Amino acid sequence: MTDEIQATKEIYDSSKRPHPLIEEFLTLIKYRDLLYQFVSSSIKTRYKRSFLGVIWTLLNPLLMMVVLTLVFTNLFRFAIQYYPVYLLSGLILWNFFSSTTIQALQGMILSGGLLNRIYVPKSVFTFSALGTGLVNLTISLVPLFAITLFLGMKIHLSILIMPLAILLLAIFSLGIGLILAAAAVYFADMLPVYEVILTLWMYATPIIYPADILPADRVWLLKLNPMYYLLQVFRRPLYEGVVPGWGEWAIAASVALAVFIAGSLIFTSKINEYAYRT
Amino acid sequence: MHTAPERYDVQAILNEKYDVYMQGVSVLYRVPRERFSGIKEYAIRLLQRRLQYEDFWAVRDVSFQVRSGEAFGIIGRNGSGKSTMLKVIARVLMPTMGRVVTRGKVAPLLELGAGFHHELTGRENVFMNSTLLGRSQKETERLMPEIIEFAEIEDFIDAPLRTYSTGMIARLGFSVASALRPDILLVDEVLSVGDSHFQEKCLARMNSFRAMGTTIIIVSHNMNTIESFCDHALWIDHGQIKSIGNVREVVAQYTG
């Protein structure tokens, strides 16, 4: 073995580490196959022992839609055309957001102390929550389009812009997920607290009701809700058949990026402490 | 001989053929004095300014170095800081104070089967475990036949892990972790798993790694393992070095 070969060996020096944000980013790229493993195993284990398997992912939002459509069109008499499509597009989006962020919150804790046994990028649990969420979202787009066609609604070319809306939503969810993951390390009761927040947040977002039922003096509430903008750019291409304007995209993108940057900074600022606490 | 010099740089490691440097390493665990687990309690305590922590130094001002290619034992009673030290070397824990430098690929053989998933098959778990150690999917595929053969579970590799015995899981864990020869191997009390036939296989593999230049650091309560395997040893007590040097002398002091 020559010195030249030895010199190429990877040197780790605890006193000369790059900024945690950069280090985390580089490690995550290096461990990308682990990310894939986490996503595929979480999907496999979800379906492996269940009889209906992947059908549940298709059926769940559909059943939810049937129930809510019955309740709201009969009880509250929303005069919305193609209400099931309006509802289902919102529900799918919300399911993605809530399941991704809840999984991110639980990820590091439920990893069974992996964090304090092996060196892994700490954000891999949050990213894999997102990966799993994206797979399930993609699957649940199938019933959404099926219902749309079934009800005889016209699908416009504008739906081709939906992946961009999903991308923004993913960035937003990742940001929230990183904040929750960091918080969950310090507070054991983070999940019940967050679940309450989620419920409130869902009703504050026009998912099951039309935005215009809000009284004029309450519309500002909607404008404060980042989820509203993300929902609009996702739903309008399908439900209204229009491509949202630049202004709408700009707001949605700024909100998503701002939350993601905040999440990344918060998460990495405490990154060396996680292994001490899980 | 084994205490690190006052000042050193990365170049010194390259020149002097050391693989692990620890200089003044301390690890502090902050344990809240009163148990609080939730946000509500935390907020109340914070307002009352009653948030007090108990400082627990798991490792205190430890300096030593391990030569390339040697086997180095760490001994001490339970809770003396042995495993914490391995975690610092494995980059799992960032030292609160001091400096750690390692050269080369570090492979932890800590708690075999950490991260195993009982619903997944043996093969799927190999992929999971191998990527957890930082290997790529491709590399794992290439190593797969050898991993399966060494673990001696050819017939069960596609059965879910929940059907495995404890011994089989341990075998698979060791086989995955040791599938590639690392530059630095960290072994934490894992040689007690499996039957004697497999234990011998593990030892043989570790010996062959060593013959090829791998540095091995072993934590164990078994003095026979330490004495027969290591060149040098370190006795740690309450997070501090009690004794360091030739393995026989250190073990004699520890047991005496």
Rounded distance, CA A273 to CA A95, Å? Answer: 31
pLDDT of residue B9: 61
Whether B213 and chain A come into contact, CB under 8 Å, resolves to yes
Q: How many CA atoms lie within 13 A of B251 on its CB side?
A: 20
Contact: B100, A114; criterion CB under 8 Å: no
For the stretch A205-236, pLDDT in tens is 999 888 888 888 888 888 899 999 999 999 99
Question: Within its chain, how far is the Cα of A254 from the centroid?
Answer: 17
- Residues 6 or more apart whose CB falls under 8 angstroms from that of B15 comprise none
**In A11-164, beta strands by DSSP E:** 11-13
Task: Give one DSSP letter per residue of chain B, joined into a string.
Answer: --SPPSS--HHHHHHHTEEEEEEEEEEEEEEESS---SHHHHHHHHHHT---EEEEEEEEEEEEEEETT-EEEEE--TTSSHHHHHHHHTTSS--SEEEEEEES-EEEEESTTTT--TTSBHHHHHHHHHHHTT--HHHHHHHHHHHHHHHT-GGGTTSBGGGS-HHHHHHHHHHHHTSS--SEEEEES-TTSS-HHHHHHHHHHHHHHHHTT-EEEEE-S-HHHHHHH-SEEEEEETTEEEEEEEHHHHHHHHH-
Largest Cα–Cα distance of chain A, in whole Å?
A: 81
Strand order in the sheet with B53-67: A11-13, B97-103, B18-32, B53-67
- Residues 6 or more apart whose CB falls under 8 angstroms from that of A99 comprise A132, A133, A136
Question: What's the token pair of residue A243?
Answer: 């491509």
Task: Give one DSSP letter per residue of B94-125, joined into a string.
Answer: --SEEEEEEES-EEEEESTTTT--TTSBHHHH
Whether B45 and chain A come into contact, CB under 8 Å, resolves to no
- Residues 6 or more apart whose CB falls under 8 angstroms from that of B205 comprise B150, B178
**How many CB atoms sit inside 10 A of residue A49's CB?**
9
Contact: A11, B101; criterion CB under 8 Å: yes
Distances (CA, A) of A120 to A101, B81, B117: 20, 22, 17
Contact call for residues B32 and A276 (beta carbons, < 8 A): no
Whether B29 and chain A come into contact, CB under 8 Å, resolves to yes
Task: Give one DSSP letter per residue of A85-129, joined into a string.
Answer: HHHHHHHHHHHHHHHHHHHHHHHHHHTTTGGGTS---TTHHHHHH
Contact: A7, B102; criterion CB under 8 Å: no
Please give the single-letter amino acid code of residue A7: A
Contact call for residues A69 and A83 (beta carbons, < 8 A): yes
Chain A residue numbers with beta carbons less than 8 Å from the beta carbon of B102 are: 11-12
| Residue recorded with tokens 């809510």 | A68
Distances (CA, A) of B229 to A145, B220, B222: 65, 11, 11
pLDDT of residue A6: 47
> Residue A78, exposed/middle/buried by CB under 10 A (0-12, 13-18, 19+)?
middle
**How many CB atoms sit inside 10 A of residue B44's CB?**
13
Q: Bridge-partner residues for B110, per DSSP?
A: B188
Min Cα–Cα distance to chain B from A236, Å = 39
Q: What are the phi and psi torsion angles at A269 (to 5°)?
A: -65, -25
pLDDT of residue A2: 40
For the stretch A113-162, pLDDT in tens is 788 888 999 999 999 999 999 999 998 898 899 889 998 888 889 999 99
Contact: B94, A114; criterion CB under 8 Å: no
Contact: A189, B92; criterion CB under 8 Å: no
Contact: A276, B29; criterion CB under 8 Å: yes
Chain A residue numbers with beta carbons less than 8 Å from the beta carbon of B88 are: 14
**Nearest residue in chain B measured CA to CA from A4:** B14
For the stretch B140-194, pLDDT in tens is 999 999 999 999 998 999 999 999 988 888 889 889 989 999 999 998 876 666 6
- Rounded to 5 degrees, what angle do the CA atoms B232, B234, B237 make? 165
Contact call for residues A116 and A193 (beta carbons, < 8 A): no
Q: What are the phi and psi torsion angles at A122 (to 5°)?
A: -70, -25
Which residues of chain B, if any, have pLDDT below 50?
1-5
pLDDT band at A10 (very low <50, low <70, confident <90, very high): confident
Rounded distance, CA B75 to CA B10, Å? Answer: 28
For the stretch A17-61, pLDDT in tens is 888 899 999 999 999 999 999 999 888 877 776 666 677 777 877
Rounded distance, CA A190 to CA A184, Å? Answer: 6
**Nearest residue in chain B measured CA to CA from A272:** B94
pLDDT of residue B166: 84
Whole-structure pTM value: 0.89
Contact: B90, A118; criterion CB under 8 Å: yes
**How many CB atoms sit inside 10 A of residue A275's CB?**
22
Choose the mutation target among A3, A14, A39 for the interface with B, i.e. most B CBs under 10 Å: A14
| Closest among A112, A47, A131, A32 to B116, alpha carbons compared | A112
Rounded distance, CA A90 to CA A223, Å? Answer: 17
Contact call for residues A212 and A55 (beta carbons, < 8 A): no
